[in-house]
Amino acid sequence: MADLDDVHETRRSSSSASRRNFLQGLVGAGAAISLSSKIANAQGEIGFWAKDLTDAQLTDMMRTILRIRWYERTLVDKMLTDANYRGYNHFYVGQEAVATGVCAALKNTGGVMEADLVYSTHRPSGHAIAKGADIKKMAAEYDFRATGLNKGYGGEMHISDKSIGFIGADGMIGPGPVIATGSAFAIRARGSKQVVVNFGGDGTYATPHFHSAMNNAALLKLPFIYVIENNLYHQYAHYSWSCPMKDIAEAAVPYGIPGVVVDGQDVVQVYNAAKTAVERARAGEGPTLIEAKTYRYYNHWGAPGAKPGELGAFGYDPLAISSFRPERELRAWMARDPVDICRNTLIGWKVIDAAKAAAMEAEIKQEVLDAVAWADKQPFCKPEDGLKNVFAEGSVPARQFG
Ligand SMILES: Cc1ncc(C[n+]2csc(CCOP(=O)(O)OP(=O)(O)O)c2C)c(N)n1
């Protein structure tokens, strides 16, 4: 993929002259930063924690990746074929190893006072499933059903499940890391050993919230991990339009915290980096920025360009101003599929064999089909439900400050 690696420079140099001049200044700054960069390679400096996992834990990772993959593929097909489906999703397919590797390094039980906390994005399925959310209730929520994970109030972009520390999706690009950092501050003040993870896309780099969160987390040594899922595009724009560096992890350098680049297609690499960051955060040593290089197989939202039963969206997206990414780029990333990489690793480590892997996939596919069939039978919310859970019941004592 050497030719695709150069895309950052190519796209930058093909832009207008004034933009080129502006960016050339920034490129200079980026180069200076990289000279002093302490970015670690996940294969090298940070060890191989995954080798210490039991076969059951490794198999669980594989199951999670498959569950995310088939949950999403099933909903892609539903969106394409079922006119009654009301969800309109941002698909995470292609990025499954990131959520899975990170959440495998976290404590995912005990509610908000004990579990590690995850703050997610507008693309939340993978994070929710990896944290342990019930896919039946998720599917019902995505279709705004009354028995959904959030009683049909949230839909995809506002799902949450406090019982597993999944604080929730967030449709706004930017504020997430600030809220998550505040949460990490509260945890430190309370003295618990929890860790807070914020997932964000490459699109969050250029927001002030990203830098404010990094700065405060570093200054206060908060138990905070920022996972940037760099899937190369924010909506329809390549990240070279908003970030002067090729590795967003370099943004960690001025804040004096570790910045780690990982292959986001390889769950083992992601897990190793996350585990190191979690150990550091729990020990009170402060935050880490992890950049996972990854790719999404579908368009920004919905399923334009996709065909039922086929993996990936290759067609033209009418919502984009132009066909925003080359098909060969998508195909090159699909050749390094996170499901295949995980399966091959586990077979290579003799944790499973090919027959067991195939059986596992068939079982999970059925589990997802059953979950979505269950969701389809759930009742819709009634108009009068709209005012439930909005106002406090009974009387609330007045409070005065100061
Ligand atoms: C404050 C704000 N501005 C704009 C948007 C519209 N918007 C939704 S997703 C998105 C791009 C997000 O890109 P990235 O963070 O890289 O995540 P990805 O979609 O690639 O997973 C934008 C601009 C928004 N949701 N919130």
Q: What is the tens place of the pLDDT at every residue in 301-328?
A: 999 989 999 999 987 666 665 667 888 9
Tell me what percent of the chain is helix, strand and coil, each rounded to the nearest 5: 50, 10, 40
What is the DSSP-derived secondary structure letter of residue 395? -
- 2 by Cβ neighbours in 10 Å (0-12 / 13-18 / 19+) ranks as exposed
Instruction: Return d(Cα 323, Cα 321) in angstroms, integer.
Output: 7
Is 207's C-beta closer than 6 angstroms to any atom of ligand 1?
A: no
Strands (E), 86-230: 117-119, 166-168, 196-201, 224-230
**What are the tokens at 320?**
């984009």
What is the DSSP-derived secondary structure letter of residue 262? E
Give the ligand 1 atom nearest the CA of 92.
21
pLDDT at 341: 96
- Inside any domain, residue 30: no
DSSP string spanning 361-385?
HHHHHHHHHHHHHHHHTSPBPPGGG
Phi and psi angles of residue 18, each rounded to the nearest 5 degrees, phi first = -65, -40
Task: Please report where in the chains the tokens 């005990």 appear, as a residue.
Answer: 110
- Inside any domain, residue 385: no
Sign for the pseudo-dihedral over CA of 151, 156, 160, 163: positive
Q: How far is CA 352 from the centre of its chain?
A: 27
Q: What is the CATH number of the domain that holds 49?
A: 3.40.50.970
- How far, in Å, is the centroid of ligand 1 from the Cα of 361? 32
Substitution site in 90, 95, 122, 242 for ligand 1 pocket (most atoms within 8 Å of beta carbon):
122
Tally the domains of the chain. 1
Give residue 220's domain range: 36-315+323-376
Strands (E), 206-299: 224-230, 233-234, 237-238, 259-263, 288-293
CA dist list (Å): 399 to 20, 187, 396:
56, 24, 9
Query: Which residues, 6+ apart, have CB-to-CB distance to 96 below 8 Å?
Result: 64, 65, 68, 69, 126, 338, 339
Sign for the pseudo-dihedral over CA of 190, 118, 41, 52: positive
Is 338's C-beta closer than 6 angstroms to any atom of ligand 1?
A: no
Substitution site in 173, 207, 294, 317 for ligand 1 pocket (most atoms within 8 Å of beta carbon):
173
- Inside any domain, residue 228: yes
Is 174's C-beta closer than 6 angstroms to any atom of ligand 1?
A: yes
Instruction: Return d(Cα 233, Cα 173) in angstroms, integer.
Output: 14
Query: Which residues, 6+ apart, have CB-to-CB distance to 6 below 8 Å?
Result: none
- Inside any domain, residue 65: yes
Substitution site in 98, 157, 235, 242 for ligand 1 pocket (most atoms within 8 Å of beta carbon):
235
Instruction: Return d(Cα 295, Cα 202) in angstroms, integer.
Output: 11
- Inside any domain, residue 138: yes
- Inside any domain, residue 243: yes
Q: Beta strand pairing status for 237-238 and 233-234?
A: antiparallel
Give the ligand 1 atom nearest the CA of 204.
15
Is 234's C-beta closer than 6 angstroms to any atom of ligand 1?
A: yes
- How far, in Å, is the centroid of ligand 1 from the Cα of 384? 32
pLDDT digits 0-9 by tens, 206-231: 999 999 999 999 999 999 999 999 99
- How far, in Å, is the centroid of ligand 1 from the Cα of 121? 9
- Inside any domain, residue 25: no
Is 72's C-beta closer than 6 angstroms to any atom of ligand 1?
A: no
- How far, in Å, is the centroid of ligand 1 from the Cα of 256? 27
Give the ligand 1 atom nearest the CA of 90.
19
Per-residue pLDDT 10s for the chain (402 aa) are 434 445 555 554 444 333 333 333 333 333 222 222 334 444 444 447 787 889 999 999 999 999 999 999 999 999 999 999 999 899 999 999 999 999 999 999 999 999 999 999 999 999 999 999 999 999 999 999 999 999 999 999 999 999 999 999 999 999 999 999 999 999 999 999 999 999 999 999 999 999 999 999 999 999 999 999 999 999 889 999 999 999 999 999 999 999 999 999 999 999 999 999 999 999 999 999 999 999 999 999 999 989 999 999 987 666 665 667 888 999 999 999 999 999 999 999 999 999 999 999 999 999 999 999 999 999 999 888 888 878 888 887 887 665
Query: Which residues, 6+ apart, have CB-to-CB distance to 331 below 8 Å?
Result: none
Give the ligand 1 atom nearest the CA of 230.
16
Three-state DSSP class for 238? strand
Is 203's C-beta closer than 6 angstroms to any atom of ligand 1?
A: yes
- How far, in Å, is the centroid of ligand 1 from the Cα of 38? 29
Q: Closest residue (by CA) to atom 17 of ligand 1?
A: 201
Task: Please report where in the chains the tokens 């197989």 appear, as a residue.
Answer: 297
Three-state DSSP class for 309? coil
Give the ligand 1 atom nearest the CA of 233.
20
Is 231's C-beta closer than 6 angstroms to any atom of ligand 1?
A: yes
Nearest by Cα to 85 from 154, 122, 124, 139: 139
Instruction: Return d(Cα 78, Cα 302) in angstroms, integer.
Output: 11
Is 298's C-beta closer than 6 angstroms to any atom of ligand 1?
A: no
DSSP string spanning 168-200?
E---SSSHHHHHHHHHHHHHHHHT----EEEEE
- Inside any domain, residue 71: yes
